[in-house]
C-alpha cells in the first residue's frame, strides 16, 4: 500500500468530475435549453442565457479534460514513486469505506492504479476528451445536444471506473455502466426505428457476455476466496498451471471471463451488435465503439493475464477466436459500401488482433495495439464523420469520390489514420499501427502458432486492401454524388446523423475547427504514439513472460503484404474503376456470403430469436402464464365466490342478532377457558 | 379489602353486567342500548377495582390504571356513538334499531 496523498486522491477526482458533469447536465439540460430558446426568441444571441447549451457542452468537455489532467498527474506521480519503493508495482487508492462487507466477502471502494490502468485512463480521458471537443462541432445543431453530452460524461465516468476498479465487482459496475451508455447513445436518435433497434440489439447481445462475466466472478470467488484483482493475481501465481487440453477450474474461470470479453469486445460469436451500433452519432462510434468501450474486453483479459497464463486451453481459445474474428471481419469489410460500416468491421478485426496477441501470451502487446488503435481508429471515425458532415449526411461510399480537393484538411488527417492502421513503417520508423501490428505478428510466430501468424498476415493484407478501397472510393477519382448539382438540403436526406438539414451553408464544405482540431491532434497521435513502447511499460503490471519476437525479416514481409493490398486496391478502384464490378460478378457466391456477413444475423434470427420468441409466445405466455398461473388465480377467486353465495346469508342486517352472536362467542370462550382447559 | 367484600363487589359487578347485556338484547331504542353498553363497561370497571384492591395491593395499581383508560375510551366512544345516533335519527326519523337493517346480503 502506497501512502501518498496525491496518488491516493487524484484518481478519485478524475472519476468524480465526469460524474458531476453528468449530474449537472442531466438535471439542468432541459432548463438550459428552454432558457436559450426563450432568449433567442427575444432576439438575444450573445448573452450567457442565449448561449447556454454551448456553455453546457463546454462544461461537458471541461470535466473530461480535467479528468485527463488528474489522470496524467496521478500517473506521473506513480511513476515518480515506484523506483523508490523496492518490489512495489501498483497503488490502491482507497476511498475509506467498504461497498459490501458480508461474511467472507469484503469489497472496499478501492481503485487499482498501476501501469496497465495508467495506459487505459490516459487513453480514455485523452482520446475521449478530444472526441468530446469534436462533438461540440458535430452536434452543434442537434436539438438534444445537452442530453448527448450528459451521456458522454456518464460514459467517461463508467469507463474510468471500469479500468480503475480495484476488484472485479467494481470493474463490473463500470462494465455494465458503459454498456448502458452504449445503449443510450446508439439509440440516441430514438425516433428512428433502426437506431432504437440497434441499441436494443447491442444491449441484449452484451447481456449474454455479462452472464459469463458474472458466472466467472462467482467461480473466482469460490476458488480464490477474494475478488480483489491483486489478490487473485497473487493467488493464481501460487497455483500450478493446468496442462494444455485440461478443463480445470482455472480454465473454466478464464473461459467464462472470455465470454464476457467476447460480448463487450465484439468477438465471434457475439460480434453481431457492433456493426449495427453505427446507427449512433459518429463521435459515439469513435469513442465507444472504436477507442474505449469495445477494448474493455482486451483490458480485462490482460488484467487477468496471470489467470490466463495458468490456463493454456483458455489461451488457445482466446488466440483462435481473435484470429478468426480478425480474418472474418476483414473479409466482410471488403464488401461494405457504408463508410462507417467498413470502419466498424475494421474495428472488430483489430480487436481480434488484440485478442490474438493476448492469446499467445503477449498481453502487453495487446494493450499496445489497443493504445495505438485508439488513436488511429478514433481519427478514422471522426474523419468519416467529417466526410459525412461535408456531404450533408451521405454515408454511401458509392456516392462519394474526389473529395481530396474539396475537403483537404480532413483528407490529410485521414491519410495519417489510413497509413497508421495499415501499419506502414520499417526499422525503427513508422506510424503508430506499425509497431503494435509488427509485435503481434512476431509474438504469434514466436509462440509457435505458425498458422495463426498466417491468418494475422493475411488479415494485415486485407486490412490494407479494404482501407485503401475506402480511401480511394472516398477521396480519389471523380465525385459520384449529386450534391452540388441538385438543390440539396431538402429534408429528405435519409441520413443517420440527422444534423445536416439545419446547416446554413450548402454544397460540400469543410468542417469547423472544433472538429478539425481533434482530427489534427489524433493525426499527430497516430503518427507518434507508436514510439512509446507500451509493452515494456505495462510489463510489471501484467506479470506474464511474453514471447520475445526477433525476426529481422518480418517487417519487410509485412510491408510487402500491405503494399500488395494497397496496390491491388489502387489498380481496382483508381486505375480501372470498372473492374470491381466484373470481379465481384465472377465471384458471385463468395460476394453474397460476404454481403450477408456470413449469415450470422440470419442464423441467430432463425434459431435463437425464433425459438425464444416462439417459445415465449406459445408455451410461456399462452401455456404457462395464461392457462396455468392466471387459471390458478382466477380459479381460486371463483371457488371463493361460489362458497360465498351460501355463506352470505349469515349477514341478516339485524344489529341485535349480531350482538347475540358476540355474546354467544364470549360465553363459549369463557366456558372453554374456565372448564375445558 | 376482605374476601367477603370482594365477593360482594364482584357479585354486584356480574349483576350490573347481566343487566347491561340483557338491555342490549331486549331493548330497541338506540339510546337505551347505548346506555346499557355503558353499564356493561362500568360493571367491568368495578370488577377491575375489586380485583386490584384484593390482589394488587399495596403496590400493583394496574387494574385501577386500566379503569382510567376504560373511562377515557368510553367518553370518546360516547361522543362518537351519540353523533352516530343523531345522524341516524336525522336519516330515518326513528331510533328503532331494527329499522337499520340495510347492510345485509
The pLDDT, as a whole number, for residue A640 is 93
CB atoms B103 and A648 under 8 Å: no
Do A653 and B101 lie within an 8 Å CB cutoff? Answer: yes
CB-based contacts of B59, cutoff 8 Å, min separation 6: none
* pLDDT on residue A290: 87
Q: Which residues of chain A have pLDDT under 70?
A: 1-3, 84-89, 483-506
Residue of B24, B25, B103 lying closest to A653 (CB–CB): B103
Which among A651, A659, A660 has the least Cβ separation from residue B104? A651
Q: Up-side HSE of residue A589: CA atoms within 13 Å toward CB?
A: 0
Whether A651 and B97 lie within 8 Å, measured CB to CB? no
Q: At what angle are helices A363-390 and A115-138 packed, to 10 degrees?
A: 0
* Residue tagged 485523452 (cell numbers): A126
Check if B44 contacts A (Cβ < 8 Å): no
Report how far residue A481's alpha carbon sits from residue A478's, in angstroms, rounded to the nearest whole number.
9
By the CB < 8 Å criterion, does B69 face chain A? no
Q: Does A674 touch chain B (CB under 8 A)?
A: no
Q: Which CA distances in Å does A423 have to A42, A340, A434, A528, A533?
A: 55, 20, 4, 12, 15
Chain B CB contacts of A659 below 8 Å: 24-25
B97 — contact with chain A (CB < 8 Å)? yes
Interface of A with B in 519-548 (CB under 8 A): none
Inter-chain contact A656–B98, Cβ cutoff 8 Å?
A: yes
Query: What is the spatial distance between Cα A411 and Cα A472, in angstroms, rounded to a whole number?
Result: 11
Mutate to test the interface with A, among B33, B88, B105 (most CBs of A within 10 A): B105
Residue A2 confidence (pLDDT):
61
**Any A CB within 8 A of B35 CB:** no
- For residue A109, the SS3 value is strand
Is A588 in the B-facing interface, judged by CB distances under 8 Å?
no
Is A660 an 8 Å CB contact of chain B?
yes
∠ at Cα A606 (A602, A609), nearest 5°?
A: 105
Interface membership of A634 toward B (CB under 8 Å): no
Distance from chain centroid for Cα A604? 21
User: Using CB atoms within 10 A of its CB, is residue B80 exposed (0-12), middle (13-18) or buried (19+)?
Assistant: exposed
Could you identify the residue written with the cell 370462550?
A669
Contact B100 A656 (CB under 8 A): no
Q: What is the pLDDT of residues A290-302, one digit of tens each?
A: 889 999 999 999 9
Closest Cβ–Cβ partner in A651, A652, A660 for B25: A660
> Is the minimum CB–CB distance between A656 and chain B shorter than 8 Å?
yes
Window 636-655 of A: residues touching B by CB (8 A cutoff) are 648-649, 651-655
Inspect the interface and report whether the beta carbons of A663 and B25 lie closer than 8 Å. Answer: yes
* Closest CA of chain A from B103, distance in Å: 5
pLDDT of residue A85: 66
CB contact (8 A) between residue B25 and residue A653: no
pLDDT of residue B80: 95
- Give contacts of B97 with chain A, Cβ < 8 Å: 655-656
Would you call B105 and A648 a contact, using CB atoms and an 8 Å cutoff?
A: yes
C-alpha A41/C-alpha A591 separation (Å) is 55
Helices in A391-431 by DSSP H: which ranges? Answer: 408-422
To which H or E segment does residue A95 belong?
Answer: strand A94-102
pLDDT at A221: 92
Are residues B25 and A651, on separate chains, in Cβ contact within 8 Å?
no
Chains A, B: CB pairs < 8 Å = 26
Classify strands A105-110 and A94-102 as parallel, antiparallel or unpaired: antiparallel
Burial of A106 (0-12, 13-18, 19+ CB in 10 A): middle
Contacts B98 to A, Cβ<8 Å:
654-656
Judge: A659–B98 Cβ closer than 8 Å, yes or no. Answer: no
0.90 exceeded by the pTM?
Answer: no
How close is the nearest chain B Cα to the Cα of A631, in Å?
Answer: 28
Q: Which sign does the torsion angle of CA A389, A392, A395, A397 carry?
A: negative
- Cell numbers given for A45: 444571441
Contact A656/B102, CB-based, under 8 Å? no
- Which residues in chain A are closer than 8 Å to B21, comparing Cβ atoms? 663
A67 C-beta neighbours (distance < 10 Å), count? 29
From chain A, the residues in CB contact with B100 under 8 A are 655
A343-374 per-position pLDDT tens digit: 999 999 999 999 999 999 889 999 999 999 99
| Distance, CA of A193 to CA of A656 (rounded, Å) | 69
Amino acid at each position: 500500500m502506497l501512502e501518498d496523498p496525491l496518488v491516493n486522491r487524484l484518481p478519485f477526482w478524475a472519476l468524480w468530475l465526469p460524474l458531476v458533469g453528468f449530474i449537472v447536465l442531466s438535471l439542468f439540460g432541459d432548463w438550459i435549453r428552454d432558457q436559450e430558446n426563450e432568449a433567442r426568441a427575444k432576439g438575444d444571441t450573445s448573452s450567457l442565457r442565449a448561449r447556454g447549451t454551448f456553455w453546457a457542452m463546454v462544461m461537458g468537455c471541461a470535466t473530461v479534460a480535467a479528468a485527463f489532467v488528474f489522470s496524467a498527474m496521478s500517473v506521473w506521480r506513480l511513476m515518480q514513486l515506484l523506483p523508490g519503493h523496492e518490489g512495489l508495482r501498483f497503488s490502491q487508492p482507497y476511498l475509506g469505506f467498504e461497498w459490501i462487507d458480508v461474511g467472507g466477502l469484503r469489497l472496499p471502494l478501492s481503485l487499482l492504479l498501476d501501469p496497465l490502468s495508467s495506459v487505459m485512463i490516459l487513453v480514455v480521458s485523452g482520446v475521449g476528451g478530444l472526441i468530446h471537443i469534436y462533438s461540440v462541432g458535430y452536434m452543434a445543431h442537434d436539438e438534444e445536444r445537452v442530453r448527448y453530452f450528459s451521456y458522454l460524461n456518464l460514459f467517461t465516468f463508467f469507463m474510468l471506473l471500469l479500468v480503475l476498479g480495484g476488484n472485479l465487482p467494481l470493474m463490473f459496475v463500470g462494465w455494465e455502466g458503459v454498456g448502458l451508455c452504449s445503449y443510450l447513445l446508439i439509440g440516441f436518435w430514438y425516433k428512428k426505428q433502426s437506431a432504437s433497434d440497434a441499441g436494443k440489439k447491442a444491449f441484449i447481445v452484451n447481456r449474454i457476455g455479462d452472464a459469463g462475466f458474472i458466472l466467472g466472478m462467482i467461480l473466482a470467488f469460490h476458488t480464490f476466496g477474494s475478488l480483489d484483482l491483486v489478490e487473485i493475481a497473487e493467488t493464481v501465481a501460487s497455483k500450478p498451471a493446468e496442462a494444455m487440453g485440461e478443463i480445470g477450474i482455472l480454465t473454466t474461470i478464464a473461459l467464462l471471463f472470455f465470454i464476457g470479453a467476447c460480448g463487450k469486445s465484439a468477438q465471434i460469436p457475439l460480434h453481431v451488435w457492433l456493426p449495427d451500433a453505427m446507427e449512433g452519432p459518429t463521435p459515439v462510434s469513435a469513442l465507444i465503439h472504436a477507442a474505449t468501450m469495445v477494448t474493455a474486453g482486451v483490458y480485462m483479459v490482460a488484467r487477468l493475464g496471470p489467470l490466463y497464463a495458468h490456463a493454456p486451453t483458455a489461451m488457445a481459445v482466446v488466440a483462435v477466436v481473435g484470429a478468426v474474428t480478425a480474418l472474418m471481419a476483414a473479409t466482410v469489410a471488403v464488401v461494405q459500401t457504408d463508410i462507417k460500416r467498413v470502419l466498424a468491421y475494421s474495428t472488430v478485426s483489430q480487436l481480434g488482433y488484440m485478442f490474438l496477441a493476448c492469446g499467445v501470451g503477449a498481453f502487453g502487446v495487446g494493450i499496445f495495439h489497443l493504445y495505438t488503435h485508439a488513436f488511429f481508429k478514433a481519427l478514422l471515425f471522426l474523419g468519416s464523420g467529417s466526410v459525412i458532415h461535408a456531404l450533408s449526411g451521405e454515408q454511401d461510399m458509392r456516392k462519394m469520390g474526389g473529395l481530396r480537393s474539396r475537403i483537404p484538411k480532413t483528407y490529410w488527417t485521414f491519410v495519417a489514420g489510413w497509413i497508421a492502421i495499415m501499419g506502414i513503417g520499417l526499422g525503427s520508423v513508422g506510424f503508430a499501427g506499425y509497431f503494435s501490428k509488427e509485435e503481434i505478428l512476431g509474438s504469434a510466430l514466436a509462440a509457435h502458432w505458425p498458422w495463426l501468424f498466417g491468418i494475422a498476415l493475411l488479415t494485415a493484407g486485407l486490412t490494407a486492401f479494404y482501407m485503401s478501397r475506402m480511401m480511394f472510393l472516398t477521396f480519389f477519382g471523380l465525385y459520384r454524388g449529386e450534391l452540388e448539382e441538385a438543390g440539396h438540403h431538402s429534408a429528405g436526406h435519409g441520413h443517420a446523423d440527422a444534423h445536416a438539414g439545419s446547416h446554413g451553408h450548402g454544397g460540400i464544405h469543410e468542417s469547423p475547427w472544433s472538429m478539425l482540431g481533434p482530427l489534427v491532434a489524433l493525426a499527430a497521435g497516430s503518427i507518434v504514439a507508436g514510439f512509446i513502447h507500451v509493452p515494456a511499460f505495462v510489463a510489471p503490471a501484467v506479470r506474464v513472460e511474453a514471447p520475445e519476437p526477433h525476426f529481422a525479416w518480418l517487417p519487410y514481409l509485412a510491408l510487402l503484404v500491405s503494399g500488395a493490398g494497397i496496390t491491388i486496391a489502387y489498380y481496382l478502384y483508381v486505375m480501372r474503376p470498372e473492374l470491381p464490378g466484373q470481379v465481384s460478378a465472377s465471384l458471385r457466391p463468395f460476394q453474397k456470403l460476404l454481403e450477408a456477413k456470413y449469415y450470422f444475423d440470419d442464423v441467430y434470427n432463425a434459431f435463437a430469436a425464433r425459438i425464444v420468441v416462439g417459445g415465449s409466445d406459445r408455451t410461456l405466455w399462452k401455456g404457462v402464464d395464461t392457462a396455468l398461473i392466471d387459471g390458478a388465480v382466477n380459479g381460486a377467486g371463483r371457488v371463493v365466490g361460489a362458497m360465498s353465495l351460501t355463506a352470505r346469508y349469515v349477514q341478516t342486517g339485524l344489529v341485535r342478532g349480531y350482538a347475540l352472536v358476540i355474546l354467544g362467542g364470549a360465553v363459549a370462550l369463557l366456558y372453554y377457558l374456565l372448564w375445558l382447559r | 379489602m376482605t374476601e367477603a367484600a370482594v365477593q360482594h363487589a364482584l357479585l354486584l359487578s356480574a349483576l350490573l353486567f347481566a343487566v347491561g347485556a340483557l338491555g342490549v338484547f331486549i331493548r330497541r331504542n338506540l339510546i337505551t342500548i347505548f346506555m346499557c353498553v355503558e353499564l356493561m363497561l362500568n360493571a367491568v370497571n368495578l370488577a377491575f377495582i375489586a380485583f386490584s384492591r384484593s390482589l394488587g395491593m399495596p403496590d400493583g395499581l394496574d387494574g385501577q390504571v386500566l379503569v382510567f383508560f376504560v373511562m377515557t375510551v368510553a367518553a370518546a366512544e360516547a361522543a362518537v356513538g351519540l353523533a352516530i345516533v343523531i345522524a341516524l335519527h336525522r336519516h330515518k326519523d326513528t331510533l328503532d334499531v331494527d329499522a337499520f337493517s340495510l347492510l345485509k346480503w
